[in-house]
Structure 1
Amino acid sequence: MTTDAPALQLIAAKHPRLRRSECLFTIFAWSMATWLLALWVLDHLLQVNQTRTHRALLLGALATIVAFVVIRRKYFLAIHKVSIGPDYLVLENQVAPHQIPFSSVDAALGIAGISLIDAGDVICWKKLVLLTKQGVYTIAIDSTQNSRCYQFLRRACPRAWGIPFRGKLEAPALPFEELDHGQLIESLKSIQSYYTWQMVRSLGLALSLTGTCVVVVTLAAHSTELSVQLLKGIMLLGAMVFIGLAYLVSVLKELRVLFQVMRARRQLARMTP
């Protein structure tokens, strides 16, 4: 005699065709950006003398590496379906489903991003990150479904902390008297580690992009020939500055969240006997 598996409630899912089209568009965009940036650096900054064949092979290799990285993250590893069972989550990607008990979820973190496609605000709910005992999982379906997932998870995982994409720390749904304070502090440590890494990453990217632009402009100021070459790539340089400033804004948001987490840790430490 066999027993039926418990029914799962579907919370959010991305249509397979939409996933494939978005992945192909992202691969194309990143590969083209890599190709154009490398071409501009070789021709106008480094002024490397290479045959067309060697140049095409080098640029093609760089674009291919970027394409493989993008397809791995955006298609194979990204969570595209979220379901809820009696006492666990089921997160599905292209590789394998992951079953996560509610009790192992430490936090649900909303990550903001810029979208010119989704209706509503330009700043939208880009993705939802789950910190669990098993690891870190990223859900990136769309702004509306990411928000709905967050609300479901807040109800289904009452012991977990929450941070919506606006960046304000939300305490677990259960009263603190019913929770293990030691476990709550460990969960806050996980959140702090995640945001510390994100802040270091954002700061590194911001300094790299803006620093590169400053160096190029400084060199161009002392070289007439380089100034002419710089004007040919002024739009690319402007895009690098814009992205660098966006990462600096992200650093400020992540720093604000870190202060909230550290304050919550101190308060819990005082409450723990």
Structure 2
Amino acid sequence: MNRASIDLNADLGEGFGRWQLTDDEQLLSVVTSANVACGFHAGDAVTMRKVCELAAAREVRIGAQVSYRDLAGFGRRSMDVPPDELAAEVAYQIGALEVFARAAGSRVAYVKPHGALYNRVVHDEAQAAAVVEGIRLTGERLPVLGLPGSALHAVAEKERLPVVAEAFADRAYTAEGTLVPRGEEDAVLSDPAAVVERSVSVARFGVVTSRCGRSVGVRARSLCLHGDTPGAVELAREVRGRLEHAGVRVEAFV
């Protein structure tokens, strides 16, 4: 029997100027993949460069976390962006991060949408196709990290881009296997014990318990740990420790 393995990813570089949201340096000692903000929902040139350097030094994979252009709303407000414009902006964000990744001796290894864009491309084929087109504009066949069964993954597979399914350690799920919108009550799990239990359940059994109590299958290769929650670093360390104690190999998916 093959030993279970899982990638741990976190959203990093979510600062701007003097303002910093995530403890990038400490989280990079725990996770295996870093979703780096590319300047549209958070992040600036100095922050992107620093995170890439830290990630490369720790052999953590660098991913472009692309977003709607929404600094004021942290990328969590849904927007109706024309497909051609969205494709160009996705390519722009990936290209900006690639400069700093290569300067650090690494590369952009995958792409993950952020916030409202992430939720939108679960069902919206036109917006999903625009994201995939943006990736294709870079000339690289970058893996797409996202929700299993999403429109984004369907379009990416059609365009022969690798897809990587992810689950969330600290987000509530619907009975259909999608994320409960952040604006709804109890959309984010706040109990550290529940987050740790969820993480082990995903890695070992591919199952989460939905908000209504139903077991939902989520066959994920990567597990997202949010870096902007209170006690994020300590929780991430506990999750990784429990996974390894349970016999799960923690390693990057690329």
TM over 0.5: no
What TM-score, normalized by structure 1, do the two folds share? Answer: 0.22
Larger radius of gyration: 1
Structure with larger RCO (C-alpha < 8 A, sep 6+): 2
What TM-score, normalized by structure 2, do the two folds share? Answer: 0.23
